Chain A
Amino acid sequence: MNPTNYLVLSAILFSIGAAGVLVRRNAIVVFMCIELMLNASNLAFVTFARTNGTLDGQVVAFFVMVVAAAEVVIGLAIIVTIFRTRNSASVDEPNLLKL
């Protein structure tokens, strides 16, 4: 099928994710929006792989998934640590990081 449709969908999802990162306050929701952007880029990679007729795009998407998993682990650990000290998961609060 037409790869343009997939790429347009990917662009829409990516933009929604970017808007979410800009708008939302809750650090966990911001993280979810970053995941959404990574997923959108993965869809683009898979579509490129099909357009070009090689599996390289799929391999890159696979690596993106691995990096996303590692990033989620670290990010959520940081959120839990901040929540322990500040008792809040809002991204407005950690401006108090300077002590």
Chain B
Amino acid sequence: MNTLASLGALVAEGPVGVTQNTGEQVTFWVCATLAVIGAGGTVLSRKAVHSALFIALTMINLAVLYVAQDAPFLGMVQVIVYTGAVMMLFVFVLMVVGVDASDSLVETLKGQRALAGVAFVGFLGLLLAGITDSLSGTTVVGLTEANAEHGGNIQGIGVAIFTRYLLAFEVTSALLITAAVGAMVLTHRERAEPRKSQAQLSTERFTPGQHPVNKPSPGVYARNNAVDMPALLPDGTVAEDSVPGPLRLEGDIRDADRLAIEEAEHLLAHEAVIIDSSGGDPLDASQEGRE
């Protein structure tokens, strides 16, 4: 209780040296609300894609908060690297793994959610107590001076990275290369058999039992192009090959002989129409016949 009271005082008045800035306050309250909504949505939404979009919302709002806190470089990096690259990588992997894989609501461990809630509250309380403890009595310096020292925020960060933090920066490059190589090694799959050359493919195509050219496509033209409708050969017989294999195995072939008779009747009827309208344009007649 005591800690909460002093935290309230800290939020209301702030440590020593705080200048109240209305614009920043508005920015903070808008972005903080949106960021917390995004974080809650990440945890609570059942579909992983929704989680990804919610966390992108949180990250963009954090970028705005960085810019508001005199860190324009980090704000831009946040947008480009986090929301741009990392979240898109997440969405891409979601695409590979399956977008509609939603979580089951069954608890495999009994009482896990309740315990997680207790842990959430306890952890938050600890953090807030720590913040209160560390901030009371500190003086806020502000970054105006540090940013102006080398002519700007980006220049200042550049000087820091390439002088005091040079070793860490170099180690970072090793880390990134290791990560890239590791990702390639982890996701690499060996071919089960060597790739066939074009000559081999051609030879295989002409072995007995194979079809050297394209198989006829299904459908009796101009009347029906369904896949289960076998094509008719010029002599009126049925081309069994034209129906895809799985349908053929299940016997899902439509009776083409009967349809061939209907087709002939249809054609005959239309011939009669064309002869009837012999005075008209033959092109019109053929278009009527198609309808």
Residue in B81, B90, B104, B147 with the greatest tally of chain A CB atoms within 10 Å? B90
Interface residues on A, range: 35 or more
B55 interface neighbour in A7, A18, A32, A80, Cβ under 8 Å: A32
Whether A20 touches B42, Cβ cut-off 8 Å, given contacts A35-B86, A62-B77, is: yes
B43 interface neighbour in A16, A42, A49, A77, Cβ under 8 Å: A16
- The chain A residue with its CB closest to the CB of B105 is A25
- Contact between chains at B120 and A18 (CB < 8 Å): yes
**1/0 per position for B11-22, CB-CB distance to A under 8 A?**
101110011110
- Interchain pairs with CB closer than 8 A, number: 249
Contacts of A53 in B (CB 8 A): 141-143, 145-146
Interface residues on B, range: 35 or more
- Contact between chains at A13 and B74 (CB < 8 Å): no
List 29 A-B residue pairs with CB atoms under 8 Å apart, sorted by A's residue number: A1-B25, A2-B14, A4-B11, A6-B69, A7-B135, A9-B65, A11-B124, A11-B131, A12-B39, A17-B39, A18-B123, A24-B103, A29-B103, A32-B51, A49-B71, A51-B135, A51-B140, A55-B153, A59-B161, A63-B168, A67-B172, A68-B82, A68-B86, A70-B176, A74-B186, A76-B93, A83-B96, A84-B189, A89-B97
Chain B positions near chain A (C-beta within 8 angstroms): 7, 10-11, 13-15, 18-21, 24-25, 28, 32, 35-36, 39-40, 42-43, 48, 51-52, 55, 58-59, 62, 65-66, 68-71, 73-74, 77-78, 81-82, 85-86, 89-90, 93-94, 96-98, 101, 103-104, 108, 112-113, 115-117, 119-120, 123-124, 127-128, 131, 135, 138, 140-143, 145-147, 153, 156-157, 160-161, 164-165, 168, 172, 175-176, 178-180, 182-183, 186-187, 189
